[in-house]
A = this chain, B = another copy of it.
Amino acid sequence: MSRILAKYYIETPDDAGKTASLMAKMQSTGTWKDLDGEAALAARFGAKVESVNITGNKDSYSLPTRYPAGRKVTSAEVIISYPWENFGPKISMLLTTVAGEIFDMYELTAVKLIDIEMPDDFVNLFPGPQFGIEGSRKISGAFGRPLFGAITKPCVGLTTKQQAELAYQAASAGADFIKDDELLADAPYNRIADRAKAVGIAMKKSFRETGKCTMYAVNITDDPDKTMKFHDIVRKGGAGALMFNSFTGGFNNLCVLARHTKLPIHLHRDFAAASLRSSYIGISPVVYVKLARMCGADQIQCGGLGGYLYESDEEMLQSMRACTAPMAGLKPALPVSSGGMWAGKLADNLKKIGNNDFMFLCGGGVFGHPDGGYAGMRSLFEAWDEYNGRPEGNNLKAAKKAFETGK
């Protein structure tokens, strides 16, 4: 079988080449002690150091370690290849192999999986997006422009009835997409069974009145024995889409859901930054997006351009490009810009992203509009109109007045 290439940024107070060899050994056939019979297995099952490119050195350890203090540190980019026969087409075991106990190694004072290249025959065994950009556009009838979405706010505490009212406001204003906040799933005071039904009714009412279809993604993140039950409830209720919290729900659970779903899956990334954000440990946002897409996410949150999340514009654009770049037989996933967005930030998003193939998703930017959720959603369409040279609408004007003076 073919091999997976993993590129790491490492720092080590030991020899970089020796440390790279140890990484390859520890993550395949070997351990700290040489073993009888290991050599015979290495050709077929061994991970292999493909390259070590020393990039610099420094005087301090970037991560805590029990390695003796005070040594000079070498930084390097290392490429290691793994035979995927070692684990098969399973996301959990892929991660355990390319991003497992290497994070614990005391010889490494930095270890970041910065990119991963997977062979087509491997990638094609995963579900991938079933809907992606094209499917999301078809369902909502949104063509030739970004999709406009809303997150119901306040995040938690609303009754299902209040939630459905907010959803109706945004839907009747033409929203392509609405979703639960990531903090709300099957809560004791607001059950998925009730909410899915209530927002489904609201979406159908809006559709009857406007002829426009709006997806509402109900957050079904929970224990995996409930996943398919919640899927069926949401499908039956007519909300039209699912939301899933990637890291706390689990990529393996996402895979199972994606193989069975009849609805598009919107992926939130809460908790992921614990592994993504540091320059010195974890996996890069690009690796995250590649895996999320492979596991079947149709719409992938990539941060918010110019919003309140940590990452730079360039990092976010890299994540967005990973949603759509050619990748075996996978459909492109829809990149989502979210986190502090409102109408006034649309033009900057469009300019920097350079195309329309993304979702512009607002929480406070829609439901924090001074004239309510309907006006908030309209302000997004008016921002699109203004970007295209048409006169500024009243809802956009009100949004600018309210938000430009704020944060």
Name the segment of A167-175, A273-281, A352-360, A377-385 touching the other chain: A273-281
In the complex, chain B residues whose CB is within 8 Å of the CB of A274: 99, 103, 274-275, 281-283
Closest chain-B Cβ to A376's Cβ sits at a distance in Å of: 10
Beta-carbon nearest neighbor of A182 in chain B: B96
Known A86-B183, A187-B85; judge A155-B93 contact (CB<8 A). Answer: no
Of A90, A93, A221, A245, most buried by chain B (CB within 10 Å of CB) is A93
Task: Judge whether B96 and A245 touch: CB under 8 Å.
Answer: yes
In the bound assembly, the distance between CA atoms of A63 and B278 in angstroms comes to: 6
Task: Judge whether B252 and A90 touch: CB under 8 Å.
Answer: no
Beta-carbon nearest neighbor of A342 in chain B: B33
In the complex, chain B residues whose CB is within 8 Å of the CB of A66: 309-313
| Chain A residues numbered 72-120 whose CB sits less than 8 Å from any CB in chain B | 85-88, 90-93, 95-97, 99-101, 103-108
Task: Judge whether B154 and A103 touch: CB under 8 Å.
Answer: no
Task: Judge whether A104 and B281 touch: CB under 8 Å.
Answer: no
Beta-carbon nearest neighbor of A101 in chain B: B270
Task: Judge whether A96 and B41 touch: CB under 8 Å.
Answer: no
8 Å CB contact of A85 from B86, B100, B188, B364: B188
Task: Judge whether A250 and B224 touch: CB under 8 Å.
Answer: yes
Of A30, A41, A158, A224, most buried by chain B (CB within 10 Å of CB) is A224
In the bound assembly, the distance between CA atoms of A187 and B86 in angstroms comes to: 6
| Interface 1/0 per residue, A187-201 and B, CB below 8 Å | 111000000000000
Known A63-B277, A93-B221, A95-B248; judge A154-B38 contact (CB<8 A). Answer: yes
Beta-carbon nearest neighbor of A45 in chain B: B157
Task: Judge whether B182 and A364 touch: CB under 8 Å.
Answer: no
Closest chain-B Cβ to A169's Cβ sits at a distance in Å of: 12
| Interface 1/0 per residue, A242-265 and B, CB below 8 Å | 000101111011011000000000
In the bound assembly, the distance between CA atoms of A29 and B363 in angstroms comes to: 12
In the complex, chain B residues whose CB is within 8 Å of the CB of A248: 91-93, 95-96, 100, 252
In the bound assembly, the distance between CA atoms of A68 and B171 in angstroms comes to: 37
Task: Judge whether B28 and A96 touch: CB under 8 Å.
Answer: no
* Identical subunits present: 2
Task: Judge whether B103 and A273 touch: CB under 8 Å.
Answer: yes
| Interface 1/0 per residue, A36-56 and B, CB below 8 Å | 111001001110000000000
Of A88, A104, A184, A252, most buried by chain B (CB within 10 Å of CB) is A104
Closest chain-B Cβ to A157's Cβ sits at a distance in Å of: 3
Known A156-B28, A308-B105; judge A224-B253 contact (CB<8 A). Answer: yes
Known A153-B31, A154-B41; judge A96-B368 contact (CB<8 A). Answer: no
Beta-carbon nearest neighbor of A368 in chain B: B33
14 A-B pairs with C-beta separation under 8 A = A28-B183, A29-B157, A31-B154, A31-B364, A33-B403, A64-B278, A64-B279, A64-B312, A85-B187, A85-B189, A92-B222, A92-B249, A95-B271, A223-B256
Closest 7 CB pairs of A and B: A33-B364, A100-B270, A33-B368, A250-B250, A45-B157, A41-B157, A224-B224
